[in-house]
Amino acid sequence: MNKPLTRLQFRNHLLGIMDQKDHWAWGNFSGPTITKAQLKIHYQQEFGVYVRDFPVFLARIYGQNPPPDVRAMLAENIYEEDTGRLSLGRSHPELFMKMMKGLQYASKEFLNIALLPASLQYRLWLERVSVHRDWNVGAAVLTIFVEGSKNDRQEIRSTAKPMTPKRLESIILKHPLVCYHGVSPHCMDLTRAHQLVENGHRHDAYKMVLTHAVTRSQQDTILLAMRKTLRLWLKYRQCVATACGLTRLP
């Protein structure tokens, strides 16, 4: 039987996967040349794949009765995602739709979204992993991978700076939707909410997984699931890029 990875070794493996959560088209979606028609495809798929139902995914993990410390962290995350009462008082899906209104998209355009093939494959995997027999697998995929980014290594190692109102509004004014697409800063409360609570969620995500995955079998199962999630996510992002007519330059 393989010896369990140390906490540091396991974290480095997880961060190594998150380092790869990057797709060439992201520069297009966050740049000045993307059109609102292309952005609509991107945001419709994001909403249908995970934004709308993310609190439900977390609740499924909570419902598997993990240890009390994990339940507390998940409960806080679910409460914020579904009510926003730790930040701005509205659920994150609602704040997402407020941002879409700022882009002049109608709410009805986000009802009954037809998922692209790779989007559906990724969504079905999130459905499956949220009810995995080991709650830690679902927690890793959803709270580390889905909520995280390629910047996780830097974020969990750095001490969070106090989020002053001035600093928060500076971040909003630099957002691509504000800079390039004329979205009013008033519509960017989803970004405000993320900035107010997300740093704590990043630390909680790694803490719950690292603390409770103590056998090599548990660690290997989580890493296997994380690698599969990365593969499916990359296919999903490529599918969206193709649907938007984007091509990678040589």
CA distance 237 to 146: 13
Domain CATH code at residue 136: 1.20.910.10
CA distance 125 to 229: 8
The distance from CA 124 to its chain's CA centroid, rounded to whole angstroms, is 16
Which is nearest to 197 in space by CA: 19, 96, 76?
76
Q: Could you tell me the pTM of the whole model?
A: 0.95
- pLDDT at position 38: 98
First to last CA, the chain: 46
pLDDT in tens, 88-124: 999 999 999 999 999 999 999 999 999 999 999 999 9
- pLDDT at position 158: 74
- pLDDT at position 1: 67
Inside any domain, residue 2? no
Inside any domain, residue 79? yes
Domains: count for the chain: 1
- pLDDT at position 105: 98
pLDDT in tens, 192-205: 999 988 767 889 99
pLDDT at 33 over 70: yes
pLDDT in tens, 158-194: 766 678 999 999 999 999 999 999 999 999 999 999 9
Inside any domain, residue 248? no
CA distance 155 to 149: 9
pLDDT at 250 over 90: no
- pLDDT at position 66: 97
Inside any domain, residue 90? yes
Domain span at 145: 7-243
- pLDDT at position 26: 95
